[in-house]
């Protein structure tokens, strides 16, 4: 990465004469190119055109031969929300808030690695151009795009398949992501879902005089279960964590329906009784370290004091620190993809607290993906064992 050149600022004084005879047909030597890189190749955190963490930008959807191991992909879509709109500006806000992450200053002390200078080629694939006009077309665009990217060639044998880190957009994008993953992996997936809300709501349970709308940011997990994308095996449940939502009606029907869709639930309040460690243990106990897991982070899992910039805020959530600590504790999961959704920057403060939290979540998840790949390298028969 370019920022290694930072140190060579010291050598600036010695750089020089090459410039005086630059002209159009000049043949550049490797040394001269290296000198240009050393001289101009670094970016300050506030420089550049705003990719995630200053990563290289590849328009992956139109450049199908460019391989990558981990891709940041934006899905700027928000017309399936039920309250505040605006998450279409989430990917831009998260990228902007990631500006102080650079490859040079990217070492993650809790993990002992710099995810941007390790085995994985991490690129920013830009955004899926999702229509804001028609949700059926939007769903199809997101599905096709994520299927395409999920089948791409990787660079390292440590990533047999590329991992997609999707920036929302509203939460409905998780359905396209799960459709893509189940196709790529050829099996149902378990989900770890951080959210104030269940999002397993059965659309038929809501007033529908004017016709049912299935595809919303609260029904995509119900749809995913109906489509067979989630495991129904009791030994392979999916997990909600951070819940504090109101339920419909006068009883526990929503929770009963959620259990029937094979979910286990950790409430936001549970952290007071079992602590961060208890939440981590519960999640790892349900998901293990081998099965492919998709991790979906609705930023409203955080309390509105920490993340007001979101579509459906619910008081009483976790702090940013508690949540990051939980993410660090579950680094052993076999993550095959992830999303961070529902960042709606119009409702955040000037200090960008919500999108900063989202950018940090992305960094922690990429760190864990890279670290997990590194550990698999050492395992007998693990990915890459034969190749490396």
Shortest Å distance, C-beta 233 to ligand NAG: 8
Of how many residues is the chain composed? Answer: 388
- Provide the 10 A C-beta neighbour count for residue 252: 11
For the chain, state the CA radius of gyration.
22
Shortest Å distance, C-beta 193 to ligand NAG: 17
Q: CA-CA distance, 165 to 365, in Å (whole number)?
A: 9
Shortest Å distance, C-beta 105 to ligand NAG: 43
User: Whose structure tokens read 């809300």?
Assistant: 197
Nearest to 337 by CA among 301, 375, 376, 365: 365
What the block records as the tokens of 297 is: 């982070």
In the complex with ligand NAG, which residue's Cβ is closer, 228 or 285?
228
Shortest Å distance, C-beta 301 to ligand NAG: 25
Report which residue's Cβ sits closest to ligand NAG: 228
Q: CA-CA distance, 89 to 118, in Å (whole number)?
A: 30
Shortest Å distance, C-beta 228 to ligand NAG: 3
Q: CA-CA distance, 188 to 80, in Å (whole number)?
A: 24
In the complex with ligand NAG, which residue's Cβ is closer, 94 or 224?
224
In the complex with ligand NAG, which residue's Cβ is closer, 223 or 330?
223
In the complex with ligand NAG, which residue's Cβ is closer, 178 or 341?
178
In the complex with ligand NAG, which residue's Cβ is closer, 64 or 228?
228
Nearest to 183 by CA among 75, 336, 288: 336
Shortest Å distance, C-beta 201 to ligand NAG: 15
Would you say 125 and 60 are in contact if contact means Cβ atoms under 8 Å apart? yes
Shortest Å distance, C-beta 190 to ligand NAG: 11
Contacts of 140 (CB under 8 A, 6+ apart): none
In the complex with ligand NAG, which residue's Cβ is closer, 136 or 226?
226
Three-state SS letters, 226-287: HCCCECCCCCCCEEEEEECCCCCCCCCHHHHHHHHCCEEEEECCHHHHHHHHHHHHHHHHHH
Would you say 53 and 306 are in contact if contact means Cβ atoms under 8 Å apart? no
In the complex with ligand NAG, which residue's Cβ is closer, 188 or 345?
188
Strands 238-243 and 122-127, sheet pairing: unpaired
120 Cα distance to chain centroid = 16
In the complex with ligand NAG, which residue's Cβ is closer, 226 or 248?
226
Verify cis geometry, omega within 30 degrees of 0, for the bond prior to 169: yes
296 φ, ψ (degrees, to nearest 5): -120, 120
Q: Which residues of 282-293 are buried (b: 16+ CB within 10 A; e: fewer)?
A: bbbebbeeebbb
Nearest to 95 by CA among 343, 367, 365, 355: 355
Shortest Å distance, C-beta 288 to ligand NAG: 18
Shortest Å distance, C-beta 230 to ligand NAG: 7
User: Whose structure tokens read 């961060």?
Assistant: 276
Q: Which residues bind ligand NAG (CB under 6 A)?
A: 188, 225-226, 228, 232
Shortest Å distance, C-beta 182 to ligand NAG: 9
In the complex with ligand NAG, which residue's Cβ is closer, 107 or 185?
185
In the complex with ligand NAG, which residue's Cβ is closer, 234 or 250?
234
């Amino acid at each position: 990465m370019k920022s290694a050149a930072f140190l060579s600022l010291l050598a600036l004084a010695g750089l020089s004469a090459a410039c005086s005879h630059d002209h159009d047909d000049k043949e550049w030597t490797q040394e001269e190119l290296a000198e240009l890189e050393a001289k101009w190749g670094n970016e300050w955190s506030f420089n550049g055109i705003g990719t995630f963490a200053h990563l290289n930008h590849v328009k992956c959807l139109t450049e199908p031969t460019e391989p990558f191991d981990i891709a940041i992909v934006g899905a700027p879509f928000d017309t399936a929300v039920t309250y505040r709109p605006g998450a279409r500006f989430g990917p831009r806000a998260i990228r902007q808030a990631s500006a102080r992450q650079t490859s040079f200053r990217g070492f993650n002390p809790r993990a002992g690695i710099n995810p941007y200078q390790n085995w994985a080629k991490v690129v920013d694939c830009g955004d899926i151009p999702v229509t804001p006009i028609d949700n059926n077309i939007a769903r199809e665009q997101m599905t096709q795009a994520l299927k395409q990217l999920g089948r791409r060639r990787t660079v390292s044998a440590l990533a047999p398949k590329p991992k997609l880190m999707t920036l929302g957009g509203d939460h409905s994008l998780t359905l396209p992501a799960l459709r893509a993953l189940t196709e790529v992996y050829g099996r149902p997936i378990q989900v770890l879902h951080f959210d104030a809300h269940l999002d397993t709501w059965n659309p038929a349970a809501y007033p529908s005089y004017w016709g049912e709308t299935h595809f919303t940011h609260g029904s995509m997990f119900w749809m995913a279960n109906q489509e067979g994308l989630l495991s129904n095996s009791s030994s392979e449940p999916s997990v909600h964590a951070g819940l504090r939502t109101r339920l419909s009606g006068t009883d526990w029907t929503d929770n009963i329906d959620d259990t029937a869709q094979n979910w286990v639930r950790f409430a936001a309040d549970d952290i007071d009784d079992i602590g961060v460690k208890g939440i981590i243990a519960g999640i790892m106990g349900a998901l293990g370290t081998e099965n492919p897991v998709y991790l979906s982070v609705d930023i409203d899992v955080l309390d509105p004091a920490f993340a007001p910039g979101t579509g459906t805020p619910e008081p009483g959530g976790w702090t940013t620190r508690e949540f990051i600590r939980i993410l660090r504790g579950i680094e052993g999961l076999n993550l095959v993809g992830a999303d961070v959704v529902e960042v709606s920057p119009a409702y955040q403060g000037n200090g960008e607290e919500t999108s900063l939290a989202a950018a940090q979540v992305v960094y922690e998840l990429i760190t864990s993906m890279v670290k997990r790949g590194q550990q698999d390298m050492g395992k007998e028969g693990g990915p890459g064992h034969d190749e490396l």
